[in-house]
Amino acid sequence: MLDDDPLAQTILALCAAAGPGKTIDPTEAAKSFARSREEDDLAWRSHLTQVRSRAVGLARAGRLVIYRKGKPADPDDFRGVYRIGLPRGE
């Protein structure tokens, strides 16, 4: 399901590019995805909900971690500002 999803692939690629122990802002993923689709400058905003949804799915699958205040957060129960990164140790 997530392996053939362009948004999920964008998120994973950005996390991999950031490197181990580093995180990305969800807006980075939304902006990158919008650019890849050649959308206008503000179109990324419409992808933020999808980014969150994909991040939760990827976190449930163990492929990335959602961080809140620098600590791993439960993908099913987090609010507010968050960041996305690869699991530590990869």
Segment 48-58, tens digit of pLDDT: 999 999 999 99
pTM over 0.85? The answer is yes
As a whole number of angstroms, the distance between CA 74 and CA 70 comes to: 13
Q: Given pLDDT bands bounded at 50, 70 and 90, which one contains residue 1?
A: low
Tokens encoding 16: 């991999």
Q: For each of the domains in the chain, give its residue range(s) and CATH number, in order of start.
A: 6-85 (1.10.10.10)
Sign of CA dihedral 81, 31, 54, 87: negative
DSSP designation for 44: G
Q: Identify the pLDDT of residue 28.
A: 97
pLDDT at 89: 65
Using pLDDT thresholds of 50, 70 and 90, give the confidence band for residue 20: confident
pLDDT at position 90 = 45
